[in-house]
Structure formats: structure tokens, C-alpha cells
Structure 1
């Protein structure tokens, strides 16, 4: 289900501005001269392989980590040294969120809300929005991994922040939980919140984000709207033809076919001329059972990350958090 959200104003002051930021751990450069802006009211996705530097960059934006060089501003102020004036305006969910594990779910979120001076009524509303309405009296240390993830997200949202940082928030959620969270995030964006979001789920980024930035080896390779990226990079379509309908050599010889592979029970034809290939297939073997897969953000992402030249790897995500 799609929802209509406000379009971020192009001329408005960015919620987050990063300029020439670098961060190294010993001889490993985790973030390498990154410059980007996140517009107010924008849903911005930060993508990249493990070890690309996503968590380090986000933690620098949040004021949890100091950059070696470059500058960062959040709502026009520097988040480092730890800027307490910014804290009520930001919500942060990390990959290793801390909890008051001996408290119940409701007690934990009440405590978090109190630390920010939030309305106590927001506790019940927030728990319901993340699917924990029925777990009020359960101790935090008895929650499953997915439930803890939901509580971490609730802790980032309970005080109604303007800017929300979510680091792989759906990593431990089941498919239903993922889709439920999507609706929560769409609602937040519709209310004008700014969201900075890291994920390995490319379908998620394509469905939710106004723009995405792709990090590879600490460098920001490209920043654009998902659909514009798909069109610009021209990822080809794939046609799945049941095995036995046409031979590999015959399929490769069809006009417009660029590559042929076998995957499962199908012959996969890659092409940038869908109409020509469909017409040629129809003439040879008919189109019954033929499936067409249109390009996606995942295709573009894999293309971009696969053809980067080899460089010294950036620090792994877990090293970034420990350093």
C-alpha cells in the first residue's frame, strides 16, 4: 500500500549536512571524504555492503563518534562534542541498542520517555505502533530478538523526534513485522519527520526512500532517487523461460538477448530490449510460462558494488562500533 507524503523542500536548510568527512581505524579508512545532505522531511537510505562504513558515518552524524576530518551539522549545529541541545530532537536506534533488561517493556519505555521529558501517554501509543501492545508486563530480558528490535525502535520514537536514525531496524523482524514497520515509518514521514535509514533490504529502500546513497569501501559512490537510479544505470530486464522450451545457444542468438544463464528450472535471458526479445520468443516457442522481471534497485546496487575497483577494505561494521 502506498501513501502520499510531503515532498522535501529543495531550498530548505538540510536537516543533516556532511562535508568531506573521513574516519580511520589504524590503517583502515572506514569513511573516505564523504559529502552529502539529508533534506528536512526526507526519507534517506544509506546502502552498502558489510564493512562499507555505514554505521560509522551514521554514528558521526548522531554525535556518537568524532570524525578525523571534515564537518557535520544537524539542524545547523555540530553534534560533536556531544550536543545535549540536539538530543531531544533526535531519535536513535543502533544495531546494539542498550536496554534496562530487568524492567518490563512498559517500564523500560516509560523510563526512556521520562529521560526525554516526553508525554507519558506516548508510551502506550508507541508500543502499539511497533506491535508490542500485548507485551507491557514482559521483562525485557525475556523478549525474543525481534521483539527487542521493536522495543529499540520504540525507544527511538517515543519522544517524538524530528530526526530519526535507524540502523538496520528490520534485521531481526519477520516479513509481517517488516511490513508493519514500513507503515509506521510512512506515517512518520507523512508527519514531516526526517529519517536516515540503513538497510540491506533493497526492496525496502526502493519502497520507502526518497533518495538513497550507496557507500562502497567508505566512499559515497552515488546519491539519487531510487527510480532515477534504476533508469540512469539502465539495468536490463530478465526473462525466465521454462527449461526445455528453447536451447541455450538458440536463446543467446535471439535479437536483443545479452546473456543467457540457467537458474533452477528456468533459462534466464537478460536484455535491454524487452519487446524485441518477447516477439522473437513468441515466434520460436510461444510465451506460455514466460516470466518477465523488470529492473529493481537491487539490480543497480549489485551492478554498482560489483564493478568498483579493488581497494583496501574498510573497517567491518562490528569494528566500527568497538573502536
Structure 2
């Protein structure tokens, strides 16, 4: 099966700045690919090129099997594009919004109305179809915006930080809508500043920095790159941090990371049960009181920090 999105050796330069420097990407059909990277890494440039909005200097790119340069109109017909800012009209109803988008795509009035009703049902907005978007919650507005991007039922949709500014409940609503799209066969390429979002949604994560891919894989594969389990100790007294750090490093055989604000010390361990028991016993012998001690898997935040040397943009 051919990939839904393909980029090979893309280069894009703005005067003396390399926005993309040999960018490669392959996204399978009916999957979610999360494109992560620090500010200025090239994420938006890559999406704009793949959605035919920006030319590039070197390389090759295809979307839905069509060349983004030679067959740009074919690509545009097969993609949806959602930006951080919603494109819906605040005055007319949700249904009229979708009908309007359908007419802009040159659908007949009858087909546009039918397609609007299908999308309202798909995104669980039928009961609010005759309300204006200004009466909607943030999650409902974002779902309506996604629906507008899918008027032509495109096989590929590009989303630029689709849940920015949403609270956890509204973010979950959008996640459920995206999962339903993928189940129906849509391929989603999204950029996001929420690493939890990538962890929850993405089948594949691609980390880009300085215009090139520096890591890719499933969330589990990326986490395994920085080790298996982590031991976390939260202390009662911050004065015990130096001694506790030495104890943990001696038992774990690795360098610990300290978070003085939260009185937390963390280190990767190999023998998880033995390490937990040994640390607990050593702290008790040293009369050091821990408020919490436990094992956990590495987070994508830690992967991102290790790979790029900086925290994900907030």
C-alpha cells in the first residue's frame, strides 16, 4: 500500500536560514502521524509544502499518490487543512456554515446540504445544528471546524495544533472525533504542542529539529530510547536532596535528575523491583522521609527534552 504522505529530501531556504534541510517523511494510510519539534524546527514549513501552499527548493513530495508540484490541484482536491484559528462564520448556523463550505467546493445545493447533515451527525453536532458557533463550547467549535475541513471527505487531513487553548474535556472531544476519522480511513498529520496528545493519538511520531528528522517511531519506541523504567522519589524535606540523589545514583547506576521545586529525584533503572526495594530500604536506613516513591515509564516530554535539548513549546 502506497503511503498517504511522502516527503523525500525536502529543502527550503529563506535567505540564509534553512527551514528544511533534507526532510523525509512517510505516513501510512488511515493512521495519525504526530509531527513534533521546537519552535522554528520546520514543522509549519513542512505542512505548508505538503498542502501545496508553499514551494520548496529541492526534493520530492506526494500526498494521496499525487505530486504536490506537478499535480497540485489533484492534491488540493484530496486534502483537508485545519489551522489553529477556526475558519467558521460566527453569525450563521452550524449547518449553514457547512453548506456554505460545500458550495465553495462547487457542490450542488442538494449535495452540500446532504453532506452537511452527514458531518453534523458524524461529529455529534446534530442537536446544535441550528445554533450559531458563538453559542458553542470550545470543543464543539473545534469539531465544527474539523467538519468543515472534511466537506469533500478527503483521504488526508493536515491539522496545525488542533486543540490549542482547549480545556481537558473539550480536548477529549476533539480526540474522539479524530479517532473516528482514522477508523473511517482518513490519514491525519498533526502538529501539536501537547505531548500527551501525540502520545494518545499518534501511531507514528516524527521529531523534527533544524529542518530535518532526528527521531521517529511509535510512542513506545521513542520512550525506549531513553531507557526503561524510571524511579521517582518525592522528599518531605528539600535538605535531604543531595544525600538522596547520591543514594539513588549508587543503586540505579545512572545519573539522576533533580527537580527542587517539587522535591523530586528521578533516575532510569534496569531491575525495577530490586531498585525500588533497595532505594526504599536505603532511605529508611538513612532516616530520610519520602512523601512518595514509585516506578513509571518515561514520558514523551522527557524524550523530547533528550532529543532536542529543550522543552516543548508551551
TM score, norm. by length of structure 2: 0.83
Structure 1 contact 105–138 (Cα < 8 Å) conserved: yes
Which region of structure 1 is more displaced relative to structure 2, 286-295 or 230-239?
286-295
* Pair 1:250-2:250 in alignment: no
Q: Which SS does the other structure have where 1:52 is aligned?
A: coil
Q: Which SS does the other structure have where 2:103 is aligned?
A: helix
Residue in 1 that maps onto 2:281: 283
- Counterpart among 26, 39, 43 of residue 15 in structure 2: 26
Structure 2 contact 64–78 (Cα < 8 Å) conserved: no
TM-superposition CA deviations, 1:185-220 (whole Å, max 9, x none): 112212222111111111111121111111112221
Gap regions ≥5 residues in structure 2: 285-289
Residue in 2 that maps onto 1:36: 25
The 5-angstrom pairing of residues 138-177 of structure 1 reads: 138-140=131-133, 148-177=141-170
Structure 1 residue 163, shift from structure 2 partner: 0.9
TM-superposition CA deviations, 1:29-50 (whole Å, max 9, x none): 2122111211222211111112
Residue in 2 that maps onto 1:296: 299
TM score, norm. by length of structure 1: 0.81
TM-superposition CA deviations, 1:65-88 (whole Å, max 9, x none): 111221111222222367333333
Query: RCO higher in 1 or 2 (8 Å CA, sep ≥ 6)?
Result: 1
Give the root-mean-square deviation of aligned CA atoms.
Answer: 2.9
Q: What is the CA–CA distance in structure 1 between the aligned matches of 2:28 and 2:305, rounded to whole Å?
A: 26
Residue in 2 that maps onto 1:271: 268
Residue in 2 that maps onto 1:201: 194
Q: Which SS does the other structure have where 1:108 is aligned?
A: helix
* Pair 1:91-2:88 in alignment: no
Residue in 2 that maps onto 1:57: 46
Gap regions ≥5 residues in structure 1: 1-11, 309-315, 317-323
Residue in 2 that maps onto 1:76: 65
Q: Which SS does the other structure have where 2:171 is aligned?
A: helix
Structure 2 contact 139–173 (Cα < 8 Å) conserved: no
Residue in 2 that maps onto 1:5: none
Q: What is the CA–CA distance in structure 2 between the aligned matches of 1:68 and 1:272, rounded to whole Å?
A: 46
